[in-house]
Amino acid sequence: MNAEDQRDKALSILDARLNNLSKLYKQCFLSSGRGAIMVYASDVIDRDGPKEYDYRTKEEILEVFDNPSSHQSLKKMIEEYDQKKEGVMALITDYSNATYFITFKLI
| pLDDT at residue 10, as a whole number | 96
In angstroms, the CA 38 to CA 41 distance is 10
Containing structural domain, residue 16: 3-102
What are the average pLDDT values for consecutive 10-residue runs of the chain, which has 107 residues?
A: 93 94 95 95 90 95 91 92 93 92 93
Look at residue 107 and tell me if it is in a domain.
Answer: no
Bridging pattern class, strands 35-40 and 86-92: parallel
Specify the length of the chain in residues: 107
| Residue 95 identity | Y
CA-based angle 47:88:65, to the nearest 5?
90
Look at residue 73 and tell me if it is in a domain.
Answer: yes
CA-based angle 9:11:13, to the nearest 5?
70
Question: Residue 14 CB: number of other CB atoms within 10 A?
Answer: 21
In angstroms, the CA 6 to CA 100 distance is 11
Domain count, the chain: 1
Look at residue 63 and tell me if it is in a domain.
Answer: yes
In angstroms, the CA 49 to CA 13 distance is 8
Assessment of whether the complete model's pTM goes beyond 0.85 = yes
